[in-house]
Amino acid sequence: MNNLFFDLDGTIINSEIGIMKSLKYMYEHTLGYVPHDDATLHTFIGPTIGASLQKYDHVAPDDPFINQSINAFREYYQEEGWEQYTVFDGIYDMMESLKKADKEIFIATSKPEVFAKKIIDQLDMKQYVRHVFGAAEDESIRSLKEDVISYGIEKTSVELDTKNLVMVGDRSSDIVGAHKNNLKAIGVTYGFGDYAELKSANSEWIVNKPQEIAKLAMEN
């Protein structure tokens, strides 16, 4: 594994506080109330807002409610929510290990690319991360993880051998997105998904700690 595409939310950072507050703000400003409990809202973290609304609110893909919701979510997120996160323990050590082993690190996230880049800059991770790939700001393009991965493979200046490229993420969407691009995947259980979800998505590897990712990269 010479090249690794990392998801951001739930894999590099714990963004639960900012996203949960943004989701509640979104519903309060579109419906006037929050129709889901925290456990359900928690599952919104990872997939796109549009995909989650289709799943839990049963709206059609072209329903104007999706764009209204995205706009409301962004009102809070771009002002406060994007900065309400912490870095998972062991992430910097993992990145340092990968860098010393000459492994290339990329970010491939369904989060809008503009916010993902701001977070990587704020965390001083540019010394480790070669490129950041994300969704369009309004989720109009590259909203699905498979599209972000495909975009990253196409746009990176690094000559990638897909046999030596893996996707690392905490949700089934990361695993499915990797497989749709003929990549293998490493699922992580310390994020927002769990072992059962990752196993069901047929993740090739499942790890519990960031340093285990570096160990896998050295051995494979």
Within this chain, do residues 28 and 79 fall inside the same structural domain, yes or no? yes
**25 lies in the same domain as 10:** no
Q: Residue 167 in 3-state DSSP?
A: strand
Same domain (yes/no): 79, 101: no
CA pair distance 34, 83, nearest whole angstrom: 23
Residue 206 has pLDDT above 70, yes or no: yes
Residues 126, 188, single domain; the answer is: yes
Structure tokens at 115: 């916010």
Specify whether 124 is located in the same domain as 180.
yes
The total domain count for the chain is 2
Q: 66, 83, 100: which is the final residue of a domain?
A: 83
Which structural domain range is residue 197 located in?
3-14+86-219
Q: Are residues 69 and 100 in the same domain?
A: no
Residues 198 and 100 in one domain: yes
Residue 139's pLDDT is what?
65
CATH, residue 25 = 1.10.150.240
Interatomic CA distance for residues 124 and 89, integer angstroms: 16
Question: What CATH number does residue 138 fall under?
Answer: 3.40.50.1000
**Model pLDDT, residue 166:** 96
Which of the four pLDDT bands, split at 50, 70 and 90, describes residue 140?
Answer: low
Tokens at residue 187, please? 């699922």
Q: Determine the pLDDT at residue 161.
A: 73
How buried is residue 9: exposed, middle or buried, by Cβ count under 10 Å (0-12/13-18/19+)? Answer: buried
Query: What's the pLDDT score for residue 5?
Result: 97
How many Å separate Cα 29 from the centre of its chain? Answer: 25
Strands (E) located in 101-183:
104-112, 129-135, 165-169
Instruction: Give dist(CA 4, CA 149) in Å, integer.
Output: 11
Q: How far apart are CA 12 and CA 40, in angstroms?
A: 22
Cβ count within 10 A of residue 102: 7
d(CA 113, CA 116): 5
Q: What is the mean pLDDT of residues 165-192?
A: 95
Which DSSP helix (H) or strand (E) runs through 14? strand 13-14
Residue 64: how many other CB atoms lie within 10 Å: 9
pLDDT in tens, 58-80: 999 999 999 999 999 999 998 99
- State the DSSP code for 88: P
Which of these, 12, 1, 3, lies nearest to 117 by C-alpha position?
12
Q: Which of 34, 49, 83 is the last residue of a domain?
A: 83
Render pLDDT for 76-94 as a digit per residue (tens, 0 to 9): 998 998 889 999 999 999 9
10 with 111, same domain: the answer is yes
Which of these three, 68, 83, 98, is where a domain ends?
Answer: 83
